[in-house]
Amino acid sequence: MRMEQLVGERFKERPSDCVIDSHALMIRGGYMKPVANGIFSSNPPLVRITKKISDIIRKEMDALDGQEVLFPVVMPAELWAESGRYESVGKELLRFFDRSDSKMVLGMTHEEAAVQLVREYGGSYNKYPFMIYQIQTKFRDEARPRAGLIRVREFTMKDAYSFHTTVEDMEQYYEKVRVGYHRIFAKAGIPEVIDVEGDSGMMGGSISHEFMLVTPVGEDTLAICPECGYRSNLESAECIYDAPAAEKNDVMPELVYTPDCKTIEDVCNFLKTDVKKSCKAVAYQGETSGEYVLVFIRGDLEVNETKVKNAVGENLVVADIQPGHGLVAGFMGPYQLEYTGKILVDASLKGMQDVAMGGNQEDYHFTHVNMERDLPNLVFGDYGKIQQDSICPCCKKPIINLERGIEVGNIFQLGKKYTIPMNMEYLDENSQRQTPYMACYGIGVGRLAASVCEAHHDEYGPIWPMSIAPWQVHICCIRSDVEEVKAYAEKLYTQLQQAGVEVIIDTREIRPGAMFSDADLLGVPLRVVVSPKNLEAGCLEVKSRDKALDEKIPLAEIEDYLKKEIEKRLA
Amino acid sequence: MRMEQLVGERFKERPSDCVIDSHALMIRGGYMKPVANGIFSSNPPLVRITKKISDIIRKEMDALDGQEVLFPVVMPAELWAESGRYESVGKELLRFFDRSDSKMVLGMTHEEAAVQLVREYGGSYNKYPFMIYQIQTKFRDEARPRAGLIRVREFTMKDAYSFHTTVEDMEQYYEKVRVGYHRIFAKAGIPEVIDVEGDSGMMGGSISHEFMLVTPVGEDTLAICPECGYRSNLESAECIYDAPAAEKNDVMPELVYTPDCKTIEDVCNFLKTDVKKSCKAVAYQGETSGEYVLVFIRGDLEVNETKVKNAVGENLVVADIQPGHGLVAGFMGPYQLEYTGKILVDASLKGMQDVAMGGNQEDYHFTHVNMERDLPNLVFGDYGKIQQDSICPCCKKPIINLERGIEVGNIFQLGKKYTIPMNMEYLDENSQRQTPYMACYGIGVGRLAASVCEAHHDEYGPIWPMSIAPWQVHICCIRSDVEEVKAYAEKLYTQLQQAGVEVIIDTREIRPGAMFSDADLLGVPLRVVVSPKNLEAGCLEVKSRDKALDEKIPLAEIEDYLKKEIEKRLA
C-alpha cells in the first residue's frame, strides 16, 4: 500500500466529542468515520486490523473444534418469541416490520438462531458435544453509544454456541473456552485481560464470566480482592455484611415528625442516629409493565440496579409515584406499609435493631424498629452494590478494591434456558428424550481493536502489536525528490512485498515531521527511514513504534533484519 | 473435519419447495437452512465455499488497486435522502425507526455510504482515481424470494465504488473491472459467464453490464445476436422495427361499434384487420404516486415494463382505472383521448397508417387512423420488449435469440448521479471545483456459489471446482470396524492435514452406499476410498467427483498424487 493512496484522512486536532484516547486516535488516524450515532464506516487500516483479530479468533475457535456457520442479521420475530425474548428484551432489540408486515428483529445475539440451526442435527446423543460459531455484523440499539468502537450500535462480533448432554460436560468445555479466550487476548496484544464473574442478565443461565481490560476509562466497575483473587463485575458481586451488633432494643417503634428531611442523611442527622442504623427506600417501575418495585436497603448502602432488574425480570426506570398505591414518596418504609406490590429487602437489613425508616406518611419516620420483632415476615435478598473496602465474598476480608474495566468478551453457561422453551431434544443411549445444555461465548471484534489501542498508545497514535497491526513495516522516504533516494525506497518496497512482508510506503514530498506524524497515527510496529543521509552512510534507520528499537542497519542486511524482527514480535 | 461431526443434516428427498437443482442440492446437502422467507443460516460447507469465493474476489479487487473498507448495514435515512433514493426506491429498501424514532434503512447497496466515506478524502485531483470495496451483509426486501440463494432477502455481497476526474478515466477503469470480473468467474469455476448490456434501473447512470450464467433456470431473459455478438438483458434491449409500408391511406378515422371484443386480437378479428396494424393500450399506476401511465404500442408487441418504469421514475403496478380521468378501460386509444396525464407511445407505431385503436368509448374502436396525419404531436420512445427473431439493434438482422440467465454480477457507470446531489467535489489542477465521476461494481457471493452449483452438478450433488470446494479431499473409510483399515485412514487423514491439504474424513460405520451419497452431496473434488480390499492390494482408490478420474494409487504415492491433482485443478 502507498500512503498517498490510502483512503481516509489523518489530522492533528483531537475531535471534541472523543472522551477516550482510542476513540480520538482512531478518528484522527482515519481508521473510521461516523455515519450515525454509534454507527461507523471502517477505512482500510481498521479493516485490516479487524481481519487479523478475526483470524486469531477463528484459529482458536477451530482449535476448540468449533465449526464456523453464519446466522442472518435479520430474523423473524417468531424465532425470538420461541425463547420468550421477543417480549422480555428491552429496546436494545430493534424490532420492525418487513414489506409484508411480518415482525422482524435485527440480531444482537444469536442463541435462538443457533438452536434453530442445530435442533435437528443435535437429535442424537452421539453428536455431542459440539460448538458452532460465526463472525457477523450485529445491531444493538444502545440508548447511549459512546467511546468510539467501545460502545456502538452496529458491530462485528464472534459469537459461539456449544451444546452438551451433561452439565459437567458443559462446565468442562466452558473452562476450555475460558482458557482459549485468554490465548486470544494475549495473541491480540492484551495478555493483561482478566476474567471476572459476570452478570448473566438477559442472556439467562447462572454462571458467566466477563473478560476485562482494566483501565481507568472502562465503563464497567470491577470488584477485585487483592488477597484471594476474587474478581467480579460490580453488577454481580455478592454483598456480605458484618452481622449487626446484637444490642438489646426493647423500645417499640415510634412515629416521629421529621420536617424538611429530604434525604436519609437529613433524617439521620435530625434523629441523631447513625445512617448505618437506618433503612432507605428506592422505588423503580418496570419499563414495560409500569409496575412499582420497592427496594429497602441499609441507609449507607447503594442499590445494585442490575440485581433488582434480574429479580423482577424486566428493565427498570426510576419510579414516578402516583397516588393510590399506598406509597408516599420520600417517606417509604417496610413497617406499616399499605403498598402490597413488589418489595425487595436487602440482606443488609437482616437482624438489625433500633432502625430508623420512612413512616409512610408525609414528614414522618419510624424509629426503634426491630427488624425481626416488628417485621417477622420479610424475605431478604442480595440487592446491594459492593463498595471499596467491602467484605470479599470469597475470603471475607474487608479489602475489596474497585477498578474500572472494558469488557472485551463474555461467556455464559446457559444451561437449558433456550433448549427447553425451543424444544431442542436428543435421544440418549437408552432412547430416552433429553434436553441438551448450552453455553455461549462472545467477543466484539471492533471493541477488541479499540481496547488494544486503549492499552497500547501514546499521545501520537496507537502502538499496534505486530499480530494485529494494519501493516508490519512502514517505509518513510525522506526527500522523494532525490532520485536515488526514491528509487531505493521503491526497490525496498518491492523487495519486502516479494518477501511476504506487509508493507506501506510513504513517498510524499512533505516535511519529515508531517510524514512521521502520519506514521505514528498508523501505528505500524516497524518503521524504516530511507533518507539521503542514511543512504550516504550505507544504512537505513529502523525504529519501532514502541520506541524499544532504534538502529542503523546496513543496506545489505535490511530484509533479513526486518523479517527477524517481525517474526520475534509474532512469536 | 470429520464427517460424523459436521454440523448439518443431509438427506435424500428433494424438498418440494425447491424449483431449481442448486437450491434442492444445497438444502439436501446441509449447506444451509431457511430461517424465514428468503433468509438462510449457513452451515460449515457453505461458509467455507463463500469464504473461498470472497478471497478470489478480494484478490482481484486488490489487483485493481481496490481498498477494502466496511460500510454499515444500518444507515440513517438522511444519508439516502441526500441522493434522493430514500424517496425514489421502492419497498425493496427496508425502512424502519430506531429507539429514538429516527428513520433508518437496511443497506441494499452502498453508493451513498461510499460517497459519505470519501467525500473529504477525495477533495483533491491528485487522489484520483481510486476504488473502495467491501464484502458485507446486505438486505433487500424482495417481494418474491425464490430459488434458494439465487434470490434471497439477506445476502453477502462484494460491492465496489470507483471515483474519477474524467469520464474517459471512468470508462477505462470500468473496462478493466469488466475484464477482472471475467477472471473472477473463471477462477470460481464458471468461465462461461458472459456480459450483457444491462438496465441501470434504480442505480442510475447510463451504461451498465450484467454478468450472466446462461442456463434455462435463469430468471433473467437475454437477447443475444448469434451473428454480431450483441448481448443485452431483455429489460434494456433496444427494439427496432421495419419501417411500415408507405401505403396511401386517404380514409379518415371512423368510429366502429365492436361488441364483445375483449382483446386486441378479438378486435382485429372482428374488424378483419392485421393485428400488426393495430394499436393497443397498457395502463399502469405509479406504486407510490398512484398516477396513471398509459402506454400505446403496436398490437402484436409487448410492453417492456422496465423501460416504462425508468421513463416515469417509479415502480409500477397494473392500473385500477377509476371513472373521471377520461380513461375507458379496454377501449383506450391515442385518437380523441380526453385523458391528459402521462402517455408513452412506442416507436413501433411511428409512421403507421390505417391503424385500428380504442375509441375511448365502451364497445367502440377507431379504424383508419393515420398516425402522422391524425396524431401529429405524438412523441415516440422505446418501450417495447424484444422478441425471438427481432431485429438485432446492432447488425440489424432479424435473428435475435432469447436465452435465460442468472445474473452473477453487475457493473454500472454512474457518472455524477450520486456525486452531484451529495455535493462531492474536488479541486482540479487549476484549483477549480469539479464533481467526480463514479462507477460501481457488485457480485453476490452466495448467488455465485449457487450459480456454480447450478452449472456443475449431477443428480447426486454439486461438483465443486477445486478453487471453491469446501474441502479438497474426502477420505471414505469403508469398514471402520476393521482396525487396520481405520488406522490407515486416520494416518492418511493426519498426513494430508500436515501436508496442508484440506481434508474431510468419514469413518462412520455405515453402508458404503450411504457414505458415498453423503460424499456426493458434499461435492469434494477428490475422493479417496480406504477399504480392506484396497489395502490388501497395496493401493487406494482415487476418484474425482466429476468422474474424469478413477485410479488405483499405490500407498506410497498417495500424498504426492493427491497434491499434484489438487495443484492441477487450482492452476
Contact B517, B502 (CB under 8 A): no
Helix (H) or strand (E) segment spanning residue A256? strand A254-257
Identify residue A318 by its one-letter amino acid code: V
Q: What is the pLDDT of residues A344-384, one digit of tens each?
A: 999 999 989 889 999 999 999 999 999 988 999 899 999 99
Of the pLDDT bands very low, low, confident and very high (cuts 50, 70, 90), residue A272 is: confident
Q: What is the pLDDT of residues B363-401, one digit of tens each?
A: 999 999 999 889 998 999 999 999 999 999 889 999 999
Using a CB-CB distance cutoff of 8 angstroms, which residues of chain A are in contact with residue B121?
A: 7-9
Residues 102-121 of B with CB under 8 A from A: 102, 104, 106, 113, 116-118, 120-121
**A471 has a chain B CB within 8 A of its CB:** no
Identify residue B481 by its one-letter amino acid code: D
**B67 has a chain A CB within 8 A of its CB:** yes
Helix (H) or strand (E) segment spanning residue B485? helix B483-498
- Residue A509: is its pLDDT beyond 90? yes
Distant-in-sequence, close-in-space partners of A259: CB < 8 Å, separation ≥ 6: A363
- Residue A92: is its pLDDT beyond 90? yes
pLDDT of residue A98: 95
Q: What is the pLDDT of residues B495-517, one digit of tens each?
A: 999 999 999 999 999 999 999 99
The CA distances from residue A15 to A152, A451, A453, A460, in Å, are 17, 19, 17, 14
Q: What is the pLDDT of residues A452-486, one digit of tens each?
A: 999 999 999 999 999 999 999 999 999 999 999 99
**A302 has a chain B CB within 8 A of its CB:** no
**A399 has a chain B CB within 8 A of its CB:** no
The more confident residue out of B412 and A229 is B412
Provide the terminal-to-terminal Cα distance of chain A, rounded to the nearest Å.
25
> Which residues, listed in sequence order, are joined to residue A544 by a DSSP beta bridge?
A526
- Region B290-319: mean pLDDT is 91
For A496, what's the count of Cα atoms within 13 Å in the CB-facing half-sphere?
31
**Cα–Cα dist A329/A537, whole Å:** 81
Give the torsion sign (CA, A310, A311, A315, A321): negative
Contact B238, B384 (CB under 8 A): no
- Residue B340: is its pLDDT beyond 90? no
Map grid coordinates 420479610 to a residue.
Answer: A378
- Residue A69: is its pLDDT beyond 80? yes
Identify residue A60 by its one-letter amino acid code: E
- Region B88-99: mean pLDDT is 93
**A55 has a chain B CB within 8 A of its CB:** no
8 Å CB contact of A70 and B42: yes
- Residue A193: is its pLDDT beyond 60? yes
* Distance of residue B485 Cα from the nearest chain A Cα, in angstroms: 22
DSSP characters over B547-560: SS-EEEEEGGGHHH
Using a CB-CB distance cutoff of 8 angstroms, which residues of chain A are in contact with residue B106?
A: 74
Cis bond before residue A129 (omega within 30° of 0): yes
pLDDT of residue B200: 66
pLDDT of residue A42: 97
Map grid coordinates 464458471 to a residue.
Answer: B190
3-state DSSP assignment of residue B141? coil
Tally C-beta pairs within 8 A across A and B: 158
**B72 has a chain A CB within 8 A of its CB:** yes
- Residue A71: is its pLDDT beyond 60? yes
For A384, what's the count of Cα atoms within 13 Å in the CB-facing half-sphere?
27
Q: Which residue of A has its CA nearest to B70?
A: A42
Using a CB-CB distance cutoff of 8 angstroms, which residues of chain B are in contact with residue A70?
A: 41-42, 46-47, 50
What value does the CA radius of gyration of chain A take, rounded to a whole number of Å? Answer: 29
pLDDT of residue A54: 98
Task: List alpha helices for A165-314, DSSP H.
Answer: 167-187, 264-271, 305-312
pLDDT of residue A101: 94
3-state DSSP assignment of residue B173? helix
